[in-house]
Structure 1
């Protein structure tokens, strides 16, 4: 070979042309094609899937996701804010396009919201608020549900009497706001008094025990019961029926299937309908828009509705 150095330079130049130029062009095209074909993936952390109303929200999420052709990965925080944070951490690691959080607690679930936002992933709160501000909220004004309940009790009792109130899990947004709404509404009825209030943690079983205790402690003094959700309302109903107390007014919130049937059967005086399907579906719609870089309303509120025997058939599926 007459000029080995020149040969090596030409060989190296040819290698660079073949190895680098076409590979860069092909890589860019493949990346864009993959991005266009990707299905939006939404991570979802639910408060507690042993609660019927929360399951209804989940169903609304799944139905809307199917309708919009997006994928949802649904997890159950089992009433643990720590577990909810772990689930959000996992969604961030997976690189989901958006995260929906059904908060366990107002304060304790806030770090999960903050982490999602810090990672640049849109986060939507459904059916519960946090101190940390999400990109969007879809739910109802829980104060309104309590105001409806207190107005109903006042109407049934002629504006005066003694009532007891069952609280949800302390620190959760619905419990805080339903309590605030009840206290505010009671200002309109100075002769309607709360003589006992305690948490039953959204639980039918705990509410049954609590109502048993109250019937013993306040024998003959209770005129009405306000349970902050239907699970507790149904527990209170069991206790009242067992004790033969048919003259005590009872109202609860959510309009789950058991409560609606009890209203129809004239066993439960009323429930307050909260549109779980609309909340779940609305959260997915917001998540998809945010994942696409579109703007959404910061807050979407779905009104509560009083359900009595006269209109219960409109709510039974």
Structure 2
């Protein structure tokens, strides 16, 4: 069972996708061209994005559409090249999950020039995108760090693990720092880049703990990074509370453990996000004039009490 607010995401996705599908069906008699959807991911070495890919492929199959998927591996130059290749292959719709919000603008401009409808997913992209669907990332950072501060009794030293230069990461850090600023007894002792990678985040966290022996809490901008940080925390033997963002199955499993330093994550809904994004892209592609420019997706704090009932 998922958190109740997921129902609104599903209804929204179904409505927008149904509208887009109706437009596709209505034009089928005049145009036998198979709709081709390209999606460029910042990475696919993460179950969050794999969940998104699977939802996209299922939704596209229901429309009889072809799907092309690429993995930028956090390399914006590769992502731009991937998008240009998809444009050459004749995509009609581009769902773009940026590896770098600014650096990907070249790809957005190329898609625009080719008449491709582009919707940014999960992270906003610079340039003339036709729409954006993403989580309320400021809220995600705020909720996680507010919860951590409460669990620390409003006092202690806290560190932040930053990530790649995309808008959601910046918003999560902003939300977190705003939450922590509400507590006079909380001190942010450092902010370092964990790169959202397990191994690198582990190493960075080890260094943070060595430099700050009185550390009480740590916020990671994503769950994969937090799982690396968790190894460093447990190895240190120190009582350091860990919070994060995503709702990754491994993170949720850790949060359920009564003795784990990992106490909460602000969960996102990747499958719903891509379904809503596809629906918005279909509506834009087929000329819907009332389709919104942006659709924000709610997040939900998952603590130990809620973890057992949560899944993507």
Which category describes the TM-score, using the shorter chain as reference length?
Answer: 0.7 to 0.9
- The equivalent of 2:166 in structure 1 is 172
- The equivalent of 2:185 in structure 1 is 191
Deviation at 1:188, TM superposition (A): 1.6
Q: Secondary structure at the match of 2:31?
A: helix
Q: Deviations over 1:279-304 (max 9, x none)?
A: 11111112222232224221111111
Question: Is contact 1:123-1:135 (8 Å) kept?
Answer: yes
Question: Separation in 1 of the partners of 2:109 and 2:194?
Answer: 30
- The equivalent of 2:235 in structure 1 is 242
For the pair 1:51 / 2:43, whether they are aligned, the reply is: no
For the pair 1:211 / 2:205, whether they are aligned, the reply is: yes
Q: Secondary structure at the match of 2:141?
A: helix
Deviation at 1:148, TM superposition (A): 0.6
Question: Is contact 1:40-1:288 (8 Å) kept?
Answer: no
- The equivalent of 1:99 in structure 2 is 94
Structure 2 residue runs without a partner (length 5+): 1-26
Question: Separation in 2 of the partners of 1:33 and 1:195?
Answer: 59
Structure 1 runs (4+) deviating above 4 angstroms are 32-35
Of stretches 108-117 and 250-259 in structure 1, the one that deviates more from structure 2 is: 108-117
- The equivalent of 1:163 in structure 2 is 158
Question: Is contact 1:42-1:287 (8 Å) kept?
Answer: no
With the length of structure 1 as denominator, give the TM-score of the two structures: 0.84
Structure 1 residue runs without a partner (length 5+): 1-31
Q: Deviations over 1:164-192 (max 9, x none)?
A: 000112x2222222122222223322321
Question: Separation in 2 of the partners of 1:133 and 1:306?
Answer: 33
The answer to which structure, 1 or 2, has the higher relative contact order (CA under 8 A, 6+ apart) is 2
Deviation at 1:118, TM superposition (A): 2.1
Change (3 A) 1:73 1:34: farther
Question: Separation in 2 of the partners of 1:33 and 1:109?
Answer: 33
For the pair 1:78 / 2:73, whether they are aligned, the reply is: yes
Matched length:
283
For 1:2-81, what aligned pairs fall within 5 Å after superposition? 35-81=30-76
Question: Is contact 2:122-2:134 (8 Å) kept?
Answer: yes
- The equivalent of 1:123 in structure 2 is 118
Change (3 A) 1:33 1:313: closer
Change (3 A) 1:314 1:69: farther
Question: Is contact 1:40-1:291 (8 Å) kept?
Answer: no
With the length of structure 2 as denominator, give the TM-score of the two structures: 0.86
For 1:161-310, what aligned pairs fall within 5 Å after superposition? 161-169=156-164, 171-219=165-213, 221-245=214-238, 247-266=239-258, 267=260, 268-295=262-289, 296-310=291-305
Question: Separation in 2 of the partners of 1:144 and 1:118?
Answer: 35
Q: Deviations over 1:203-262 (max 9, x none)?
A: 01011111111221111x1110101100111111111112222x2111111011100110
